[in-house]
């Protein structure tokens, strides 16, 4: 009998979710569309509990492209919260709505199926995420340490608005999952 593979049970970091949420809020985001996945639960709850934030829970991530486009044209800054597979599900909307019409998007996507991923079903999506971002010429950075989150979120927002294009931020396992980051590493 094959051994059962243990499901990942490490807790999602509430502290780092707060850092990401606060960074988005301080960047002026007032609407978030979200299709939940494990790593996003605290972020979504923070949006839900904040009377100053409009949270739109989606049936499919691609809707978030249209919602963000409408919000942007109406003067409201928004962010899309999704898993990298949600990015895959959104690609036609990203290309033929946001890119075609030069509309900024701020896309935060949890980077599943990458280094440290124990869930086999995530691995195909993880293998193609960065190649697809490259192919679509979407600028992206990885958020892997709490200390650089606010800076990178603000810079992503600035670039999205100056270029009128989608920009992505990958939420890494090191940032979002407690106990998975390297011990005592400082980067300049």
Partner 1 sequence: MTRLDCLRAIHPALHDRAVVTIMGAVAAELQAIGHRPNFFYLQHAMGLASSMGLGIALSKPALPVVVFDGDGSVLMNLGGLTTLARYRPRNLTHVVFDNESLLSVGGFPTATSTGTDLAAMAAAAGIPRTTTVRTVEAFTEAFREAATSRDLTTIVAKVEAVGPSAYVTDLALLENRFQFQRYLRHV
Q: Which residues bind partner 1 (CB under 8 A)?
A: 31, 54, 56-60, 62-76, 78, 92-93, 96-97, 100-103
* Eight-class DSSP state of 80: E
**What is the closest distance, in whole angstroms, from the C-beta atom of residue 172 to partner 1 in the complex?**
28
CB of 71 or CB of 106, closer to partner 1: 71
- Dihedral angle computed from the Cα positions of residues 56, 59, 60 and 63, in that order, rounded to the nearest 10 degrees: -50
CB of 60 or CB of 134, closer to partner 1: 60
d(CA 187, CA 145): 9
**What is the closest distance, in whole angstroms, from the C-beta atom of residue 39 to partner 1 in the complex?**
22
CB of 58 or CB of 143, closer to partner 1: 58
**What is the closest distance, in whole angstroms, from the C-beta atom of residue 151 to partner 1 in the complex?**
27
**What is the closest distance, in whole angstroms, from the C-beta atom of residue 123 to partner 1 in the complex?**
26
CB of 63 or CB of 130, closer to partner 1: 63
d(CA 13, CA 179): 9
**What is the closest distance, in whole angstroms, from the C-beta atom of residue 54 to partner 1 in the complex?**
6
What 3-state class would DSSP assign to 59? coil
d(CA 75, CA 9): 40
CB of 36 or CB of 70, closer to partner 1: 70
Nearest to residue 65, comparing CAs of 30, 21, 97, 109? 97
Compute CA distances 35 → 80, 126, 187, whole Å.
9, 18, 32
């Amino acid at each position: 009998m094959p051994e059962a593979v243990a499901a990942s049970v490490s807790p999602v970091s509430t502290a780092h979710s707060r850092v990401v949420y606060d960074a988005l809020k301080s960047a002026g985001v007032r609407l978030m569309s979200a299709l939940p996945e494990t790593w996003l639960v605290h972020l979504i709850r923070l949006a839900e509990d904040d009377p100053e934030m409009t949270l739109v829970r989606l049936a499919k991530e691609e809707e978030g492209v249209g919602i963000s486009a409408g919000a942007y044209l109406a003067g409201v800054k928004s962010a899309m919260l999704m898993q990298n597979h949600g990015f895959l599900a959104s690609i036609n909307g990203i290309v033929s709505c946001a890119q075609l019409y030069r509309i900024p998007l701020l896309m935060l996507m949890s980077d599943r199926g990458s280094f440290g991923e124990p869930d086999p079903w995530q691995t195909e999506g993880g293998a193609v995420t960065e190649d697809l971002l490259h192919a679509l010429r979407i600028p992206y950075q990885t958020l892997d340490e709490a200390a650089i989150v606010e800076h990178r979120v603000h810079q992503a927002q600035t670039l999205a608005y100056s270029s009128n294009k989608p920009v992505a931020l990958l939420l890494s396992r090191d940032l979002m999952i407690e106990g998975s980051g390297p011990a005592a590493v400082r980067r300049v």
